[in-house]
Amino acid sequence: MCFVMLSIEKADIVAKPIRVSAKNFYLKQDLLPTAGPVFSWIYVLVVENFSKNIFNLKYSHWWLVDDFGITRKIDEGVISQGSIINPQTQAEYVSIISLPSSGAIMIGECAFGLDGDDSDCLVVKIGPLLLRSDDNRPIN
């Protein structure tokens, strides 16, 4: 059984005993001869464990809707399945996303379980996280 915690409008959610924060930074635009422009961002997730228990990641999923209206699902996100978050600690995960569009909206979902317990999990929904390039074109 999984318990779902709904996120607020910011990409920062507290679902006691876990908090997940997300932020992103625009990197650059490249021109690929065969593919056209490619825009890249670094995104960072910080997972904080406020409890005295060890949690592990059961899954993470990400969805992107770019400014062309194309939806992409990413089954393995920046945090890989099995990642362990020790008690009273935080872990930071960094990844890069590249798209053919200058912007996107990114949302995610992570499920955490107590280490050694496969019966229950805590699902944290993350986002929306706005990915924008420096050209400030509006997302359609």
| HSE, side-chain direction, 13 A CA sphere, residue 90 | 10
Strand order in the sheet with 89-99: 12-15, 18-32, 36-49, 89-99
DSSP assignment of 103-114: EEEEEEEEEEEE
Dist. CA 14–CA 11, nearest whole Å: 10
User: How does pLDDT run across 14-45, given as a tens digit for each residue?
Assistant: 557 888 888 888 887 776 666 678 888 888 88
Q: Model pTM greater than 0.85?
A: no
Which two tokens mark 122? 């805590």
User: How does pLDDT run across 101-131, given as a tens digit for each residue?
Assistant: 889 999 988 888 887 776 778 888 888 888 8
The CATH architecture assigned to 2-132 reads Sandwich (2.60)
